[in-house]
Amino acid sequence: MELKRRNRVNAEFSMASMTDIIFLLLIFFMITSSAISQSAIDVKLPKAEAANPSVQDPATVTIQEDGKYFVNDKEIPKQDLENYLVNTLKDDTNPAFTIRADENTRHKDVVFVMGIAETHHYNLAIATTQTDGN
């Protein structure tokens, strides 16, 4: 007696499962790539067009060329600067301060203050002078 197979092998390949995997990978990479922060320190530079800004930050950190730090024209030692800024800005709903650094100030002195802003999630602005458009 000869038995015939009921199921024949189909030579076609279904792409449905492969398409599902590709779409899942695409969604995964889109979600994870948007979660990566491009810049660790968010710096807001003031616009040069505004000659007289109407909003004044509660604190201004001035850095001299020799590395001395001043908060609102009061000299603060480097080791006390972070605590002083935290105490100054603790009551603000949107804490922010401005860095005014001499053009010859060492980069590490400015980065030190920017690190304090990043650690405590303070908004930050860097003061500049308006240049002539010549």
| DSSP secondary structure, the chain, as one string | -PPPPSSPPP-----HHHHHHHHHHHHHHHHHHHTS-S-SS--BPPPTT-SS-S---SEEEEE-TTS-EEETTEEE-GGGHHHHHHHHHTT-SS-EEEEEE-TTS-HHHHHHHHHHHHHTT-EEEE--PPPP--
Predicted pLDDT at 23: 92
Match domain 59-126 to its CATH number in 3.40.1190.20, 3.40.50.1980, 3.30.590.20, 3.30.420.270. Answer: 3.30.420.270
Hey, where are the domains in the chain?
A: 59-126
Predicted pLDDT at 65: 82
Residue appearing with tokens 């053009």: 103
Across the 134 residues of the chain, what is the mean pLDDT of every consecutive 10-residue run?
70 81 90 58 46 60 86 88 88 84 85 90 79 56
Predicted pLDDT at 12: 75
Predicted pLDDT at 37: 47
Residue 92: CB partners within 8 Å, gap ≥ 6? 58
Predicted pLDDT at 79: 92
pTM of the full predicted structure?
Answer: 0.55
